[in-house]
Amino acid sequence: MKTFEELGVSEPIRRAISELGFVQPMPVQEEVIPYLLGTMNDVIALAQTGTGKTAAFGIPILQSIDPESQQTQALILSPTRELCLQIADDLRDFSKYLPGIHVEAVYGGASIGPQIRALKHGAQVIVATPGRLIDLMDRGVARLDQVRNVVLDEADEMLNMGFSESIDAILMGVPDDRNTLLFSATMSREIERIAKGYLREYKEIVVGSRNEGAENVNHIYYMVHARDKYLALKRIVDFNPRIYAIIFCRTRTETQEVADHLIRDGYNAESLHGDLSQQQRDLTMQKFRQHLTQLLVATDVAARGLDVDDLTHVINYGLPDDIESYTHRSGRTGRAGKRGTSIAIVHTRDGRKIRAIEKEIGKDFVEGQIPTPQDICTKQLYKVMDQIVKADVDEERIEPFMKEIDRYFEYMDKEDIIKKMVSMQFGRFLAYYANEPELQAVKASSRSGKESEGGKRSRNAAPRGGRESMATPGFSRLFINLGKMDNMYPSELMQFLNRNVKSRFEVGHIDLLPKFAYFEVPEKDAQKVMQALDGIRFHGRELRCNLADDNPKGRKPRTQERTPKGGEHTGSKSRGAKRADGFVPGQGTKAAKGGKAANKTTKEPKQHSKKKEWMKFFE
């Protein structure tokens, strides 16, 4: 393997990248850097995210800049503002010891005024999103007549996002005697069209194989019923206590809902999607990069440019429609020589997608088994014990308090103290999983959505309705003739109950459908709730409330619609309006201040490991 010096990288840049931890060139850098240091050398580089692409094109571009000229000499296009900012930051780091070089990022979603002033001041390198650059070109601010290097980073994604015409217009506005570099994870027909139209005798550099998945990534799928997707997600996260992951969702609505449910259930999670302001997105990404957020729930577009070297997992909350998107997602982990895991939570209809992805990326998926409650509790227990044993103690600062501490605990033996210490950290998992059943697995060979005969049903799974749906013991399941199409969501339902039922009571599972809903209340409160709600009006609709089993023949009302594919139903008829998987809180919902979660257990949890197995940890 060659060194950066042997590749022709100048000493100031070598010093800067050495401080950043660059030791040896990565394969794509070894291929691209010497080629781009020449002139009239066009390249298509097929490489996955995390293979060192930014340095591969950034180093030769910076080395070719004339700092004496304030003209724009290099242009880098990226699909999103997040990636645009990331590239600009990296180039500034690489040029730390190159005085006089200015790198400017221009992108939509931010005020154009400061960007205009920065370009007028002079920027030898512009990193831009296509839409904002076209705007600046039209205003006569972005002058590209001196550009000698053009880079299209993640070109396939820009084309997928509909930037084809903008890219055509931009490339027509730069000189013909330039280097043009297309970086792409996949080789699509659109990439080939751009290459034939704007590249001359280009060299194709392939790191790995065309459309291949990242080398250091393991691919696992968990096949569950659609109603169990969220519960499966929680168990996967709980089974990996040190997980640091991006959870990809298909739509903005689904992204926000998954994040909201994780936060409500006590997880360190945040959402990232296009409905957030630029300031919110920047803050969210900053917190995630700094490990202040453990789980980032994101759409594909919003997560572009989020480069995190030590990401442990990528979780696909359902598979994307196209294989290229899966390739991009999975490439977010397993970077900088580390191993990563790409997990797909799929339902029975996704079996063919799994096979298609395997064929395209050249890697096999492993069928995972949803962790059992005992598996999860054991894993979490050892995490807590390990944290206690490895905790740093500041002897000097704690010494003045030791006499008081010894006096306070002198009547407690070591075993009791350890039990209490562990319970403080571990008690939540024991309480939650004490009586939780195993999630029913669906075999990969199954192509139907039917449950196997005699299969167990998750206590937290979304009920199906009618007599076949049993309420939680001690609770009655009530029906109301309002659903999501009437803007009846969990928060609205809880407010509605609090306004119209004057006494406190608990609410268990809530099952929302497009035109009606079910919810559970204690048996002793059922009659009171029905009397309070029946006949009153909600947004102009007269509400009917009765026991779920009072519907004719125990069947769902005829008003229920077939669930379309895609995201959450919001009352519109657009595509992607209804998602098959329902979110069901794992710990019930409070109907009034001071209420208890319906399905929290007050029983003594089972011991999932013998005393000897964990007490010896502290001996």
User: Can you tell me the distance from the alpha carbon of 529 to that of 477, in angstroms, rounded to the nearest whole number?
Assistant: 11
User: Can you tell me the distance from the alpha carbon of 103 to that of 397, in angstroms, rounded to the nearest whole number?
Assistant: 48
Q: What is the mean pLDDT of residues 74-103?
A: 90
Q: What is the mean pLDDT of residues 265-290?
A: 86
Give the structural domain span for 138: 11-206
In this structure, the answer to whether residues 327 and 414 fall within a common structural domain is no
Burial (CB count <10 Å: 0-12, 13-18, 19+), residue 233:
buried
DSSP at 486: G
Q: Write the CA distances from 337 to 59, 262, 333, 501, integer angstroms.
A: 20, 30, 10, 59
In this structure, the answer to whether residues 201 and 221 fall within a common structural domain is no
Instruction: Write down the pLDDT at residue 296.
Output: 94
β-strands 103-106, 149-152: how paired?
Answer: unpaired
Q: What is the mean pLDDT of residues 72-97?
A: 90
Specify the higher pLDDT residue, 529 or 568.
Answer: 529
Q: What one-letter code names the amino acid at 181?
A: L
Q: What is the mean pLDDT of the chain?
A: 77
Specify the higher pLDDT residue, 185 or 460.
Answer: 185
In this structure, the answer to whether residues 260 and 290 fall within a common structural domain is yes
* Residue where one domain finishes, among candidates 346, 371, 396: 371
User: Can you tell me the distance from the alpha carbon of 535 to that of 133, in angstroms, rounded to the nearest whole number?
Assistant: 58
In this structure, the answer to whether residues 327 and 277 fall within a common structural domain is yes
Q: Is residue 600 part of a domain?
A: no
In this structure, the answer to whether residues 81 and 182 fall within a common structural domain is yes
DSSP at 571: S
The CATH number of the domain holding residue 191 is: 3.40.50.300
pLDDT band (50, 70, 90) for residue 379: confident
Is the distance from CB of 459 to CB of 360 less than 8 angstroms? no
Q: What is the mean pLDDT of residues 391-399?
A: 87
pLDDT beyond 80 at 100: yes
Q: Is residue 428 part of a domain?
A: yes
Residues ≥6 apart with Cβ < 8 Å to 186: 46, 156, 210, 211, 323, 324, 327
Q: What is the mean pLDDT of residues 442-466?
A: 40
pTM above 0.85, yes or no: no
The residues facing 401 across adjacent strands are none
Angle ∠(305,320,224) on CA atoms, nearest 5: 125
pLDDT band (50, 70, 90) for residue 313: very high
Q: What is the mean pLDDT of residues 304-313?
A: 74
370-405 in b/e burial notation, b at 16+ Cβ within 10 A? bbbbebbbbebbbbbbeeeeeeeeeeeeeeeeeeee
Question: Between the ranges 128-137, 310-319, 342-351, 477-486, where is the mean pLDDT highest?
Answer: 128-137
Q: What one-letter code names the amino acid at 553?
A: K
Q: Write the CA distances from 121 to 71, 87, 139, 147, 447, integer angstroms.
A: 10, 20, 15, 17, 62
Q: Is residue 181 part of a domain?
A: yes
User: Can you tell me the distance from the alpha carbon of 277 to that of 272, in angstroms, rounded to the nearest whole number?
Assistant: 10
pLDDT beyond 80 at 212: no
User: Can you tell me the distance from the alpha carbon of 202 to that of 44, in angstroms, rounded to the nearest whole number?
Assistant: 7
Is the distance from CB of 106 to CB of 129 less than 8 angstroms? yes
- Of 80-94, 172-186, 549-563, the least confident: 549-563
In this structure, the answer to whether residues 37 and 156 fall within a common structural domain is yes
Residues ≥6 apart with Cβ < 8 Å to 544: 479, 480, 481, 534, 535
Q: Is residue 211 part of a domain?
A: no
Q: At 223, list the tokens.
A: 């096949």
Distance of CA 93 to the CA centre of its chain: 27
Q: Is residue 453 part of a domain?
A: no
| Angle of helix 164-172 versus helix 189-198 axis, rounded to 10 | 10
Q: Tens of pLDDT along 340-350? A: 899 999 887 77
Q: What is the mean pLDDT of residues 529-543?
A: 83
| Angle of helix 490-500 versus helix 523-533 axis, rounded to 10 | 80
In this structure, the answer to whether residues 157 and 141 fall within a common structural domain is yes
Residues ≥6 apart with Cβ < 8 Å to 520: 471, 472, 475, 476, 477, 478, 507, 508, 509, 510, 598
Q: At 478, list the tokens.
A: 């009530």
In this structure, the answer to whether residues 381 and 365 fall within a common structural domain is no
Q: Is residue 445 part of a domain?
A: no
In this structure, the answer to whether residues 430 and 579 fall within a common structural domain is no
User: Can you tell me the distance from the alpha carbon of 519 to that of 503, in angstroms, rounded to the nearest whole number?
Assistant: 17
In this structure, the answer to whether residues 320 and 255 fall within a common structural domain is yes
Which single residue is written with the structure tokens 């050892």?
Answer: 382
Instruction: Write down the pLDDT at residue 106.
Output: 94
Which single residue is written with the structure tokens 């007028």?
Answer: 120
Query: Structurally, how many domains does the chain consist of?
Result: 4
Instruction: Write down the pLDDT at residue 468.
Output: 37
pLDDT beyond 90 at 94: yes
In this structure, the answer to whether residues 299 and 429 fall within a common structural domain is no
Instruction: Write down the pLDDT at residue 465.
Output: 37
Instruction: Write down the pLDDT at residue 262.
Output: 92
Distance of CA 98 to the CA centre of its chain: 37
Q: What are phi and psi of 321, to 5 degrees?
A: -70, -30
- Of 228-242, 473-487, 546-560, 583-597, the least confident: 583-597
Q: Is residue 446 part of a domain?
A: no
Q: Is residue 32 part of a domain?
A: yes
Q: Tens of pLDDT along 153-179? A: 888 778 767 788 888 889 888 988 888
In this structure, the answer to whether residues 279 and 420 fall within a common structural domain is no
